[in-house]
A and B are shown apart, each in its own frame.
Chain A
Amino acid sequence: MRGRTRLRRVGLPYLLLLPALLLELLVHLVPMVIGIVMSFKELTQLQIAHWGAAPWKALGNYRVTVDFDAPAGATLLHSFAVTCAFSVLTVGLCWVLGTAAAIFLQENFRGRGLLRALFLTPYALPVYAAVITWAFLFQRDNGLVNHVLHDQLGLTGDRPFWLLGDNSFVALLVVSVWKTWPFAFLVVMAALQSIPKDLYEAAALDGAGIVRQIRRITLPSLRPINQVLLLVLFLWSFNDFNTPYVLFGKAAPEAADLLSIHIYQSSFVTWNFGTGSAMSVLLLLFLLVVTAGYLLATSRGRKSADV
């Protein structure tokens, strides 16, 4: 009797986890394994109908992918560099904006609710509709951006292109930050609610100003949340597909050629599913290493801080 109760107590959580585990397996692991298998095969539209029987290419797809002297590898390397720069800038800007706005809205003032709602709008809009609107704003001849910058403020000598050439990186960054920062704002705002008010009151009594309060109380208290927030933001922006695709279509300008678009092009536009899969697997490995390194570093940092 006792043994059965114990079994039930030990077994029940696993039983409850089982459906989720099975679904996880089905939805994520199976396609991932298939993707990895595909990366070792010669797979174009010619074999796709019978892809299981497609010829093995061993490491051939990977060799093409990382041969940085050949066009495929060279463009992938370039795309990787662009994606890294894009992700770091997006995460940094989103975090700064989100934190600043969240701290600003901690104070109780008239219109706070309205501002909160306003800040969250980009987060609530359908991505496609929002980004296509940005694409119109960035048009050279009829777009609002040039109308303001050139016609009204006279900041630019000539009407610049935003969706072509080097400026496309700036356009992509602006849209991405605009779309993502409300999430940082939301998370930080929620975290701020959990900091006890009396900490601030005590600090104020001791004569600490607002800047000192932020540095000594707010930021350290936000640390655990920030660790997760930054990682999630990084993974999102590193894998962002919707923004560049809606903004530039199938072929992004070189300056804004993110990895997601690059892999999509290889797989679904030029139909090199094998090389596309190989690129995806490399991307997965990279993200796993970065994530593991990040988690290790932050947890070690916290441990030493705890001591």
Chain B
Amino acid sequence: MRILRAATVTATVTALAAVAAGCGGGSGFGGGGSDDSPTSLTYWASNQGPNVEADKKILGPELKKFEQRTGIKVELEVIPWPELLNRILAATTSGQGPDVLNIGNTWSASLQATGALLSWDRKNFAAIGGRDRFLAPALEATGAAGKDPAAVPLYSLAYALYYNKRMFQEAGISKPPATWDELVADGKRISRDGKWGLGAEGGQLTNNIHQAFALGKQHGADFFDSAGRPTFTSDGAVAAVKQYIDFMAKDKIIAPGNAEYGQNQSLRDFATGRTAMVLWQAAATTFSADGMQPGDWGVAPVPVPSGTPGTGRQINSMLAGINIAVFKNTRNLRGAQKFVRFMTSDTEQRLLNKAYGSIPPVKAAQRDPAFSRKDTKVLRETLTRSAAPLPQIAGESQFETSVGTAIKDLFADAAAGHPVTTASVKARLAKAQQQMAQ
């Protein structure tokens, strides 16, 4: 009996450890893809719409269209964001991936480094109509500088400032802020009686990174040097992070409760009139879903230190979006290329980007009037003029986690009323930098 019990326990421990220690196995790839199964493709789409079902509804008819034209059947799987990166990594390890897939454009260089994705050299680009069809800034988020891209831009996005017109009117503010000083001043006028000037998602690591990166650019900081080494404790980086945290800690225009937001609660606060401004990528559909009328909110470019958004120190957004990539060991290379060509065709670009509220990275498709509405126009102009891609380095994922967590912790300090100083910001960022070096 005792032996049996010991055996049971040992088995349990082994099982638990196996779960903790185990990672899938695999032997890697054969190489450059083939055309063994020319009549079918698997496609992993990222979850772009409000939910997976909505994505299937949007993509389904398009995939049918593709099948009718080419005779190639596309098996679609829509993968929620939190799972996508790990699914891709598992596929990379096992070599058992889809033929075509979506990746977040900030992951391009990381995934390029795994060697699992097809390189888009001149020949491959020619198969989808050439590199020139795409917006130049969008191409910057397709892989490390100086290398052939590992993916092709599909949906592009940028940050904008969304503001509640009625709350502005009530506070006697006539136009949205164009500089950070104006934003703080406006925010202070609004922040009273349970209402707040600006919303934030303090617990959302990626959002923290996006905000800090754009502010960092304005302070002349890149978070990495030209050799790809982290420079999180540079004066500019520290100043940028401190400026963002100070909106809560010093200026008190962000509600302390926002420190724990991580599931887009700040958008709900905006829609219900508790917060007057949010910095967000394409939020229009969410606001409508939360009961706001399109006339209730306005859209303006994200503020800059002074003047108007532009290049260099006037960058006011990270370059966000989704890329489409081909798995190197696809068994239908030609079909995969045809599919990428289809998805990046002018017609599909217009249609899909309209459905998702994003901006087409294909120049010709941008001429559609849908991308000249007040909100899409701001996003489009930001993309072309004043958005920069996050550092295209292999360790981008680590950067998001380590610095994103540092900012989350700083927000927690600010919310709890602990002082946030240049030294405390620098200490948190120094810890993040040490974690990168592990």
Contact = CB atoms under 8 A, between A and B. Distances in A.
Given A165-B416, A281-B21, A46 B438 contact: no
A287 interface: yes
Interface in B192-246: 203, 205
Nearest to A50: B28
Nearest to B328: A49
Nearest to B116: A49
A156 to B, nearest CB: 13
Interface in A17-62: 24, 27-32, 34-36, 38-39, 45-46, 48-53
Q: What is the interface of chain B mostly: helix, strand, loop, or mixed?
A: helix
Contacts of A11: none
B369 interface: no
B259 A45 contact: no
A50 B31 CA distance: 12
Interface residues of A, number: 63
Interface in B1-56: 2, 5-6, 9-29
Interface residues of B, number: 59
Nearest to A72: B438
Nearest to B113: A46
Given A31-B22, A284-B21, A239 B114 contact: no
Give the dominant DSSP class at A's interface.
helix
Contacts of A141: 255, 257
Nearest to B433: A71
Contacts of B13: 235, 284, 287-288, 291
Contact of A235 (B5, B16, B116, B409): B16
Contacts of B29: 49
A164 B412 contact: yes
A277 B15 CA distance: 15
Task: Point out which of B19, B20, B110, B114 has the most chain A C-beta atoms below 10 A from its C-beta.
Answer: B20
B93 A295 contact: no
Contacts of B405: 251
Nearest to A65: B438
A249 B86 CA distance: 15
B9 A253 contact: no
Contacts of B412: 161, 164-165, 253
Contacts of B438: 64, 71-72, 266, 270, 272, 275
A273 B86 CA distance: 12
Contacts of B26: 51
A164 B116 contact: no
A36 B21 contact: yes
B393 to A, nearest CB: 12
A265 interface: yes
Nearest to B20: A280
A161 B414 CA distance: 12
Nearest to B115: A49
Contact of A239 (B20, B93, B95, B116): B20
A28 B21 contact: no
Interface stretch (B98-106, B286-294, B396-404): B396-404
Interface in A269-304: 269-273, 275, 277, 280-281, 283-284, 287-288, 291, 295, 299
Given A270-B397, A270-B402, 11 more contacts: A35-B17, A38-B23, A39-B21, A52-B27, A139-B260, A141-B257, A228-B5, A235-B16, A260-B20, A268-B86, A284-B21
Interface of B: 2, 5-6, 9-29, 86, 89, 92-93, 95, 110-111, 113-116, 203, 205, 255-257, 259-260, 262, 394, 397-398, 401-402, 404-405, 408-409, 412, 415-416, 431, 434-435, 438
17 contacts: A32-B17, A34-B22, A35-B17, A38-B23, A39-B21, A45-B114, A49-B93, A50-B115, A161-B415, A163-B260, A263-B20, A267-B23, A270-B398, A270-B438, A271-B397, A280-B17, A281-B21
